[in-house]
Amino acid sequence: MMKNAAFWAGVDYGAKFRASTAITFLKKKTITTVLSPKKTDVDLWLEDFLQKEGIHVVFMDAPLSLPKIYFDPLDQESSHHFRQVDRELGAMSPLFLGGLTARAMAFKQKIEKRGATVLETYPSAILRKRFSEKTLDEALLLIASEVEFAFPSIDGMNPHEKDSILAWYAGYRYHKKESMIFGRKEEGQIFL
């Protein structure tokens, strides 16, 4: 059994006032997924939720940094559009995601001031790198057979809830010291 299994969560981070943010965490040895309420400020809801559940490490599906050139203009490895990790994993530019990136970066800063850790993950890359040629549902069933916790039924889950499970799985692999890590530490890394 993993130590401190209840202290991390996977978050599929979505629009600020839509029910498009999902969080997966461990509660009483059961993997639990919760969707944000409609017409609620998701950042305030998520901050409160993490605090109430005692979650100290968050694996977030959202860009948490900008290309290094924005804070080090002499960096020769940066572009103005993509971080190295985005190029490695075929991810969208954090700039293309604009407001979501800015919100995620602000959320990370606020949560980390309280002593939590927020790490970036990318469910689509988890699917490609760890479960090549499997559908999302097939990958989730493989995860269910791998982990030692009760797994939720994926029937009726929306894509945000399913992606939050993959984000949680990134945390599971991280805590087992089996993460695949992409990108440059000084610019931004993604944990799979």
Full DSSP string of 42-58: HHHHHHHHHHHHT--EE
Task: Check: CB of residue 62 under 8 Å from CB of residue 100.
Answer: yes
According to DSSP, residue 25 is labeled E
pLDDT at 37: 95
Average pLDDT over residues 105-134: 96
Q: Is the pLDDT of residue 1 over 60?
A: no
Collapsing DSSP to helix, strand or coil, 93 comes out as: coil
pLDDT-derived band at 3 (thresholds 50, 70, 90) equals low
| pLDDT one-digit tens code per residue, 66-114 | 999 988 888 877 788 999 999 999 999 998 888 899 999 999 999 999 9
Average pLDDT over residues 20-48: 95
pLDDT at 6: 59
Q: Is the pLDDT of residue 154 over 70?
A: yes
CA 137-83-104 angle, 5° bins:
65
Q: In terms of C-beta density within 10 A (0-12 exposed, 13-18 middle, 19 or more buried), how is residue 103 classed?
A: middle
What lies within 8 Å, CB to CB, of 151 at 6+ separation is 31, 143, 144
Q: What sign for the dihedral angle of Cα 14, 143, 120, 127?
A: negative
Q: Which long-range contacts (CB under 8 A, 24 or more apart) does 100-104 make?
A: 100/13, 100/14, 100/15, 100/62, 100/63, 101/62, 101/63, 101/66, 103/13, 103/16, 103/43, 103/62, 104/13, 104/60, 104/62, 104/63, 104/64
Average pLDDT over residues 42-66: 96
pTM reported for the whole predicted model: 0.94
**Buried/exposed 72-88: b ≥16 CB within 10 Å, e otherwise:** eeeeeebeeebbbbbee
Q: Is the pLDDT of residue 58 over 50?
A: yes
* Between 6 and 54, the higher pLDDT residue: 54
